[in-house]
């Protein structure tokens, strides 16, 4: 279930970074937003993977990483993070 190898963690982190960078490109953010989106994408990606692994999801798995739920988790957390970052004091 949680037998992630170092290459699998690197591969998943590469995808999480790409999701955050693509979201940043889509939303035309600055440098600060780039780091925020990548960090938020990491959190969503690995939480999504963990939920998928706990539920026993095998659809969209590449090796030990459950990309289907990880991608959904990353997308949802990116959208919520962007929405929360729009709130001003």
Cross-strand pairs, 65? 62
pLDDT confidence band for 23 (50 / 70 / 90)? very high
What's the alpha-carbon Rg for the chain, to the nearest Å?
A: 13
Q: Which domain holds residue 39?
A: 6-85
- When divided into structural domains, the chain yields a total of 1
Q: What is the pLDDT, as a whole number, of residue 89?
A: 45
Domain assignment present for residue 78? The answer is yes
Q: What is the DSSP string of 3-34?
A: ---HHHHHHHHHHHHHHHHHHHHHHT--HHHH
Q: Which two tokens stand for residue 81?
A: 């993070």
Q: Which two tokens stand for residue 22?
A: 């693509």
Domain assignment present for residue 53? The answer is yes
Domain assignment present for residue 1? The answer is no
* Average pLDDT over every residue of 14-25: 94
Render pLDDT for 29-86 as a digit per residue (tens, 0 to 9). 788 889 999 999 999 999 999 999 999 888 988 888 999 999 999 999 999 999 988 8
Domain assignment present for residue 79? The answer is yes
Domain assignment present for residue 14? The answer is yes
Q: Is-above-0.85 flag for pTM?
A: yes
| C-alpha 13 chain-centroid distance | 8
Domain assignment present for residue 81? The answer is yes
Q: Please determine, for residue 88, whether its predicted confidence score (pLDDT) is greater than 80.
A: no
Domain assignment present for residue 45? The answer is yes
| C-alpha 68 chain-centroid distance | 11
Domain assignment present for residue 50? The answer is yes
Select from 22, 24, 41, 44 the least CA-distant residue to 32: 24
């Amino acid at each position: 279930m949680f037998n992630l190898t170092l290459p699998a963690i690197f591969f998943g982190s590469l995808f999480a970074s790409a999701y955050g960078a693509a979201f940043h490109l889509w939303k035309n953010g600055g440098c600060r937003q780039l780091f925020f989106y990548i960090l938020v994408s990491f959190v969503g990606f690995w939480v999504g993977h963990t939920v998928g692994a706990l539920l026993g999801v095998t659809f969209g798995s590449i090796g030990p990483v459950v990309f289907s739920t990880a991608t959904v988790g990353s997308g949802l957390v990116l959208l919520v993070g962007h929405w929360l970052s729009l709130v001003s004091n």
